Structure 1
Amino acid sequence: MSRMILSTSCLLAAAQCISTDETRYYLAGVSVQKHPEKGAMLVATDGHRMIVVHDQYAIVPERPMIVSLNWKAKELKVTPKDIGNRVLIVEVPEKRTSTPMMAQIMSVALDHADQYESDGLVKGALIVEEIDGTFPDWTRVVPWKTFDLQACTANVAFDPRYIATFSTAFSFLSFASDNTLVLRSGATGDPFIVTDPSVMNAFGILMPKRGGGMSAPLWLAHKAPPPPKEDTPEAA
């Protein structure tokens, strides 16, 4: 057995993108992969969106895992601020197992980063299960060129609170089961028109924020896949 220690904040953040599609069971959890330099990469996707979180202080097994949680922040009745400086600790067997694993959420001692104590914030059993499957190679989905600001044709930043405002507003005007926001702009610096294809009687205007560009994070520790080799004609 080995001890796995994950930041609860990082784990819950990644869990926002797990899939609920039963036919894609291997996406119903968070992929935990040992980072080549420090900590772990927590990755989750439902096929439409993906999140990659670097938990730099994580301690994880050498083998990759897909972990499923039986709890969410709402069920724990705690807020992201409550989670704060806490970690999830679970004993993990050396080989993949179908046996549910009991976990604990512990508080990190302020003066000792490697010492933990229970403060009673979370009560009840927390179960972590390992999903028997293979998580897809998420690095193939990353649009690596977009991290290159010089090669990027459009680099626009928005306040996420404003995006959420339009989503909520259009939901009052639409009978669609799932809404889609479409953002369009004619030229760099122009305001964006925000529409929902299912809403014919409203549109929004959204001003982009200045800046917001970023290069590939240093912790990513991955490189873009090499381009496919082109066949060269043989010399006559």
Structure 2
Amino acid sequence: MKLSLNAKMVLAASAWAMKGTDAIRGLDAVFAHAHPKGGAVIIATDGYRIVVVHDGAGTVSAPSSINLTPALKKAIKAAGDDAAITTDGAHAVFEGVHYPECIGSGAHFPTYRRVVKIAIDDLKTQARASAQFNLRYVADAVAMGKALGGASEPYPSIRFTSVTEDSGALIQWTGVPHAFGILMPMRASLVVGVPNWMRPVMTAAEAKITGRKPSPKRKAA
């Protein structure tokens, strides 16, 4: 198998690849396959979030997995933005250096397209609502946007769009049209609405603005 992928894109995506014991599920590496209209698609997931990146200049001869070792990650961080990872059999080649056993088959990678399709179809057909997310994952999503190029925007921003409390949210970043993310929500523990302690403050503010006094509470019969 042969491939050539933007190393910075692969490195950024690897932040969302599963680490440790889930290697048997095939989530411990970054996955790549050819894009039907040209270039390559780079995907990483840990089962709770997915990032999908289009490398317009990339090439992949067959679905592949890329395992970034600490040495390879260090080399990519020190390289320029246009540096590419290529292959020599099962070895990754980066800036003339071979990294053994970093390239494998992508046949074992989960069917990520189904998860993405469900999330996108829900956004098109259902009313949008709020969902609750892991704070660390949200912070990671912000970092992901920066790593993929959003940091160069004059006013970088991130958008989460979800349908229900149980639906995965679509993640978009300004300045990053070549990538998007899907983040699965947590079980909701927060009640949507202004906290009870804020209601007297709002009532007092309304009375001050309108000149009307708050209505007295009725006693229970």
Aligned partner of 2:93 in structure 1 is 103
Report matched runs for 1:1-236 at 5 Å: 3-19=2-18, 20-22=20-22, 24-61=24-61, 63-71=62-70, 75-76=74-75, 78=77, 82-92=79-89, 100-105=90-95, 125-127=98-100, 128-131=102-105, 134-142=108-116, 143-148=119-124, 151-154=127-130, 163=139, 184=190, 186=192
**CA distance 1:55–1:185, change in 2 (3 Å):** farther
Shift of 1:102: 4.0
Shift of 1:34: 0.8
**Is the partner of 2:60 in helix, strand or coil?**
coil
Separation of aligned partners in 2, 1:181 and 1:12 = 30
**CA distance 1:126–1:24, change in 2 (3 Å):** same
Q: Percent identity?
A: 22
State the Cα deviation string for residues 160-195 of structure 1 (Å, max 9, x = none): 9x947xxxxxxxxxxxxxxx89795735xx79xxxx
**CA distance 1:26–1:148, change in 2 (3 Å):** same
Structure 2 gaps of 5+ residues are 141-185, 196-221
From the CA coordinates, give the structure whose radius of gyration is larger: 2
Q: What TM-score does the superposition give when structure 1 sets the normalisation length? A: 0.48
Q: Does the Cα contact within 8 Å between 2:63 and 2:105 map onto a contact in 1?
A: no
**CA distance 1:182–1:84, change in 2 (3 Å):** farther
- Supply the AA of the counterpart residue of 2:65: I
Q: Does the Cα contact within 8 Å between 2:43 and 2:53 map onto a contact in 1?
A: yes
Separation of aligned partners in 2, 1:88 and 1:15 = 14
- Supply the AA of the counterpart residue of 1:103: V
Shift of 1:136: 1.1
Shift of 1:155: 9.4
Aligned partner of 2:155 in structure 1 is none
Q: What TM-score does the superposition give when structure 2 sets the normalisation length? A: 0.51
Q: Does the Cα contact within 8 Å between 1:34 and 1:40 map onto a contact in 2?
A: yes
Aligned partner of 1:216 in structure 2 is none
Give the structure, 1 or 2, with the largest relative contact order (CA under 8 Å, sep 6 or more).
Answer: 2
**Is the partner of 1:141 in helix, strand or coil?**
helix
State the Cα deviation string for residues 192-212 of structure 1 (Å, max 9, x = none): xxxxxxxxxxxxxxxxxxxxx
Structure 1 gaps of 5+ residues are 93-99, 106-117, 119-123, 165-179, 192-236
Separation of aligned partners in 2, 1:77 and 1:88 = 9
Separation of aligned partners in 1, 2:11 and 2:113 = 21
